[in-house]
Structure 1
């Protein structure tokens, strides 16, 4: 099969970019011809004056991309196009270009950008769904994107116009990472249930070796970005009266200095490890008693959760967004009320007091990843989706 993968990369590559690259590699390993159409936001730093002045218009509708992609598609003739992210350099013009040439379009919904200009459903410290039904101008008033009127207006106008123009209706199939995300699309009137397939992210082969199912070290780990919506403050508050637990934070972000200051004031046992990758990350996860995903926003998925589960480490996750669909409460981990540090403290204390229960959850978590989030399981489900849209 000839598959066109389309992605606009971010200045700070994260989980979405990792998934895109892993999916390209997975398809190539199975012998498919993978074509890529990719842009990178770091290009913006090299723009001349003309390119900077054209940036706003091109974000809304990039005519050059529209014509260049058509020429590319006419030459390569892909069987299907799989789009990941088009903002801001590629723009939604790709959907019209692909539709005009009759190429089936599959879209993975990695975030809530189609319904929310800042893609999070979270602003000013709380969940927000004001723009969900199509009036995206709320984002301008609240400066939801990078606390900027101009950038918030840019995304509000881009998304709002294309929803009104019916551009996103040209997408043949939406891949959502959990049923929660699909339900939000349906609630918003953005698409219908028959155009939605649920397929979570996956971990490439081989899966990391799991840790011991007999004994773990007395520390918990947080793996991810250090920003307000991730709820790390909630985790620190939960540890105030759990002096026997040490926290290891693997990640970086704009909140790092504030979190370090809080740790010093409260006298907590916390190690800030920075960005951790490869075997060092695997070793960190497989030795931990538990991993914590304390998000206060609607996560669309959690790679950190399934990476921890693959290591045989149970996950304590908030009940926000998609997390209850990834972490099965009482089986692969424990759920707590989002934003409630006392509830999180109780759940951590219970796991500390019941280490055999925690180890059993970790064993179950590993089995879940093998069955549901492995490369082979993902590939088989993805091919079913591709074949269904190609057949029409």
Structure 2
């Protein structure tokens, strides 16, 4: 199969699970013998642009005619079987869908977040769940300045959502939702249910698994409010006040709360701020952990770090909402805490470290869950089946309606 992957890469200064997923899928397809090309833009390149070019960028977020022309020319020359769209913000824009239509090439799109119904894609405002724009106009997002706390910065995203909503829904043969929880939100928001299929992200086998009990609790990810970093610090302070749990907390990552986290960890024996790990360091750190902690306050559409932990045979302590509810089986592969509740999180951290024998049972169950639902073999099968369904739907050679969520063919276990 000949596949063209479209992606606007996020800035490299901070961890991006989305960049990771795209790279892993490209490598997986190529290893299986498929021809894969990439059409991409990089947010890192914005800094080198001239001042006029930077000033013009917000106007190109909803629609970039130059990208449409360039992509349409490439599609006509290369004739891929299918185009796989990932992130289009800010340098590609939904104009890529028009280019696919111009060339007559079917498109699929992975929905990595909630940008189809929420301008910043988080369904969160001021650290709390928010659905004001879901199923309606995105004016509340502009009023509240939901993107980067700026009304001005939010306007291009809100305009793009408003003017391109129907283009997305009609121009994409199949949307890949990365969890059933995400799909449910999008269907409620009015997206066409018949085009939404669940395809969980896969994770490569890390090649290293936990041996023994583990030596630390690990937070691995972007240091941002939505990821529950402040909630974790509050829970850890509560644990420390009662004598701790016998292992240190390691926080690895970068983001807007980096200075706050570093200051909080400074001079403490029970906490270590490790900065930004590379891929190999991440895998080793996970394999050394009693548990990986994912206390997100927003509704995670997937939760890649939880599956990375399971791949290494490590249980997870996660917020009991969003995709974590379907990824983590309570008491079997990990523990779920009440979202936004520091006391509940502290309790689960205490429990996950208290019984080492039970912890090891959870780790073995987590590894089995990974092998059954999130391994490269499973990921490749679901990806290729989705492509074939999109191609058949465009050509009229098959039923383009996705199978029900939870089926073996595409939905998998949820």
TM-score bin (small chain) = over 0.9
User: 1:45–1:218: structure 2 CA closer, same or farther, 3 Å change rule?
Assistant: closer
For 1:211, the equivalent position in structure 2 comes to 210
Alpha-carbon shift at residue 233 of structure 1 (Å):
1.8
CA RMSD across the alignment: 1.7
User: 1:180–1:270: structure 2 CA closer, same or farther, 3 Å change rule?
Assistant: same
* CA deviation vs aligned residue, 1:176-229 (integer Å, no higher than 9, x gap): 11101111110100222x21121111122x4322112xx314421111111111
Kept in 1: contact 2:59–2:156 (CA 8 A): no
Gaps of 5+ in 1: none
* CA deviation vs aligned residue, 1:140-159 (integer Å, no higher than 9, x gap): 11111111121111111111
For 2:28, the equivalent position in structure 1 comes to 26
Alpha-carbon shift at residue 248 of structure 1 (Å):
0.7
For 2:187, the equivalent position in structure 1 comes to 186
Q: Distance in 1 between matches of 2:380 and 2:168?
A: 28
* CA deviation vs aligned residue, 1:222-276 (integer Å, no higher than 9, x gap): 11111111112222222223423310111121112222334459x6710001111
Kept in 2: contact 1:235–1:344 (CA 8 A): yes
* CA deviation vs aligned residue, 1:87-116 (integer Å, no higher than 9, x gap): 111110111221232211110001111111
For 1:366, the equivalent position in structure 2 comes to 367
For 1:39, the equivalent position in structure 2 comes to 41
The residue correspondences of 1:1-392 to structure 2 (distance < 5 A) are 1-12=1-12, 14-163=16-165, 165-192=166-193, 194-204=194-204, 206-212=205-211, 215-239=212-236, 240-242=238-240, 243=244, 244-263=246-265, 269-392=270-393
* CA deviation vs aligned residue, 1:20-56 (integer Å, no higher than 9, x gap): 1111111111111112110111222222244234322
Q: Distance in 2 between matches of 1:352 and 1:30?
A: 40
Gaps of 5+ in 2: 394-414
Kept in 1: contact 2:97–2:167 (CA 8 A): no
Q: Distance in 2 between matches of 1:107 and 1:16?
A: 13
Alignment length (residue pairs): 386
Q: Distance in 1 between matches of 2:17 and 2:332?
A: 25
Range moving further from structure 2, 286-295 or 251-260: 251-260
**Helix, strand or coil at the partner of 1:145:** coil
**Helix, strand or coil at the partner of 2:206:** coil
TM-score, with length taken from structure 2: 0.89
Kept in 2: contact 1:236–1:263 (CA 8 A): no
Q: Distance in 2 between matches of 1:300 and 1:48?
A: 35
